[in-house]
Amino acid sequence: MKNLHKLLLGFGLVGLTYSCTDLEEDLVGDLTQDFSLEGISTGAAGGGSDVLTAVFDAVRNGGTANHGGYFSVQSVSTDEMAVTQKGGDWYDGGIWLDMHRHTWTPANGPITGTWAQQYGSIAAVNNAIANSGLNADQMAQAKVVRAYLHWRLMDMYGNIVIADGSGSNAQSSRTAVFNWIEGELLSALGMGSSFDLTALESSSLGTGDNKYRINRHAALGILAKLYLNAEVYTGTARYADAASAAGYVIDNGPYRLSDASVSVPNLAKRPAVASDPDNLTGYAAIFSPTNENNPEIVWSVKYDEATAGGMNFNQMTLHYASQYTWNFQDQPWNGYVALEEFVNSYEDGDARKKANFIAGDQLDYGGNALVDLASDTASPEISYSISINELEPNAARTGGYRLGKFSFQQFGRPDMNNDYPIVRLGDLHLIHAEAVSRDAGDWSLALPEVNAIRARAGVSAMSSITADQFLAERGREMFQEASRRTDLIRFGQWGGTWWEKGASAEYRELMPIPTEQLTANSNLTQNPGY
């Protein structure tokens, strides 16, 4: 690997905005290859190359659905999942133990890498904005993507540099960043300086349903996420605006919940295993390897094993021997596991529980028991237990259910084909329900939409609901979609205790500004507590 520290400094990953030169393009390519651990490719998003390809590739290359960056930090730091140390495997200098226990330092690798990934992606978008001759619609799409990447940074690190193409490397307050992101989104939506749904017809964005591009509905979905968390970010609640933005997409978009009428072939099916379904239906279909046209998805990141690599959940979570269940090209890494208490929050019969987790006895392609050839136990057969004996130093190699929401396929490569939804209708229903309830101070107002989501999952309707119950329901629906950290903070539960994690201080709600960025940019000030 090249000298990463020099590369980051040369690339300006201290929040600098960049001049758009051939050198910058080279550095963008170098960063996506050298920093990430999974060999992300730079194939075209949307099934073909156009002037926006680099813009949407930038989101994929920002650690969206792979090990080591944005997804990992957003998820392993929560009560959803952990990366357990299995003897000599997965210690990695303690970075994942620290992530789970909220004991990270400003030198933590994934935290440092997530910052670098987002600013590297923003640089690619800035390059496209400056040099690609974008028309009004394309320019609006690029600016929405850039705003979304800034939202990730603001959500995680708070006071950041706004990389808007001006060349400034000054650090802005979280409120100032919020206002800038909002302004970029409002401008793209034709609203000027204030949220106004009546102004949408003046937007340069279209309404066509292209899952790999930004339309008005996708931009409104991102704006709804921003407004839902506005009180955390700025101290001023914007719940009514969050409800209006989400509600507009629900009422006017061409989208519908992926219910029993939506069915796709199960590409993971083993002919010799009767319990493998022929098709994936409803909720499971949203996240399948053939989810590119799912009616629930508003905007998704394109992944493709040959042209748009980077999603490697199969490698991240499965036991090494699971290679023989799905005939994978490469052996998995046996790292990420779901936490018992989180799994137990699902009712029996919840379709999401079956879709989200891989549990119990594991069989190979021919239906035979899968065995751990390195096991020194009397029963080497692999069976994923819901319980995990310990986080470290010798977590059981088969402890913990595995992440299965983004389902696998036979003869899969290390990179998966499933697209990763950023905005989808199920999430927007929950955003709308929560925002309406918070705005009115009445959680019962969430029941109609919560029960619609539960009905899709095959579980009974709730007759009443509290804030804690809503958070639990949102967790069950949104597992593995990188929203849990943000949700726990909004509900005031981030500093609580869960398995192998004690109470953590309030300052841990923000990740630290990476040490090397502080060294490279004297304008940056560390977040309090670090």
Q: Specify the DSSP element, H or E, that contains 263.
A: strand 263-265
Q: pLDDT tens across 32-82, in order?
A: 323 332 323 333 334 456 899 999 999 999 999 999 999 999 999 999 999
- Strand pairing class (402-403; 383-384): unpaired
Give residue 49's pLDDT. 67
Give residue 8's pLDDT. 32
260: how many CB neighbours lie within 10 A of its CB?
12
Q: How far apart are CA 317 and CA 314, in angstroms?
A: 6
Give residue 376's pLDDT. 66
Q: How far apart are CA 143 and CA 398, in angstroms?
A: 45
Q: pLDDT tens across 271-317, in order?
A: 999 999 999 999 999 999 999 999 999 999 999 999 999 999 999 99
In this model, does residue 9 exceed pLDDT 70? no
With cut-offs at 50, 70 and 90, classify the pLDDT of residue 328.
very high
Q: How far apart are CA 434 and CA 449, in angstroms?
A: 10
Determine the average pLDDT of the residues in 429-448.
98
In this model, does residue 4 exceed pLDDT 80? no
pTM for the whole thing? Answer: 0.91
Side-chain-side CA neighbours of 44 within 13 Å: the count stands at 8
Contact 527, 158 (CB under 8 A): yes
Contact 66, 95 (CB under 8 A): no
Q: How far apart are CA 344 and CA 167, in angstroms?
A: 49
Contact 132, 51 (CB under 8 A): yes
Give residue 42's pLDDT. 33
With cut-offs at 50, 70 and 90, classify the pLDDT of residue 374.
confident
Closest C-alpha to 316, from 400, 373, 427, 394:
400
b/e per residue 173-198 (b: at least 16 CB within 10 A): ebbebbebbbbbbbbbbbbeeebeee
Cα–Cα distances in Å, from 338 out to 72, 345, 399, 469?
A: 13, 12, 9, 20
Side-chain-side CA neighbours of 437 within 13 Å: the count stands at 23
Residue 155 CA to its chain's centroid (Å): 13
With cut-offs at 50, 70 and 90, classify the pLDDT of residue 330.
very high
Instruction: Give the three-class secondary structure for 428.
Output: helix
Please report, as a single letter, which amino acid is at residue 386. Answer: I
Tokens standing for residue 221: 């979905």
Q: pLDDT tens across 196-211, in order?
A: 999 999 999 999 999 9
